[in-house]
Structure 1
């Protein structure tokens, strides 16, 4: 396997492990801590999703208009 793929899977595994540990520790906290962590996780996830969507839109626009300009040359 390519080393980039291995590093990517290792980073993904570490993230999943940290999420599982966080959710496992939630029942030990009070409701305030649980709600705060959930709200923060949702806001971070929403930010990441919006960022990825904006990158995909920018890439699509670039490829659409960039390829048309390249074909004219």
Structure 2
């Protein structure tokens, strides 16, 4: 699930928690909304974490590492 899906999940959870006044027997929509908001927030955090790791590699750009590896293999 991408970033947009996580944000939509969070928004649906917020709507169910704060904006809906429906009552179903056996289902508490407030709890369902809180669970959806937690899942959406967790997804955003994980997505941002993975994206942050992908952009940098030990403080160096990914292109620098590729160029250094090519130079090393060319000298062998």
Q: TM-score, normalised by structure 2?
A: 0.50
Structure 1 residue ranges, 4+ long, deviating more than 4 angstroms after superposition: none
- Residue by residue, what CA displacement relative to the aligned partner does 1:4-50 show, whole Å, maximum 9, x if unpaired? xxxxxxxx8xxxxxx7xxx6xx71327x8121011101000001010
- Structure 2: segments with no counterpart, 5+ residues: 6-11, 72-76
Show the counterpart of 1:15.
none
Q: TM-score, normalised by structure 1?
A: 0.51
- Structure 1: segments with no counterpart, 5+ residues: 1-11, 13-18
Show the counterpart of 2:61.
65
User: Which structure is larger by alpha-carbon Rg, 1 or 2?
Assistant: 2
Q: Distance in 1 between matches of 2:46 and 2:38?
A: 12
CA RMSD of aligned residues (A): 3.1
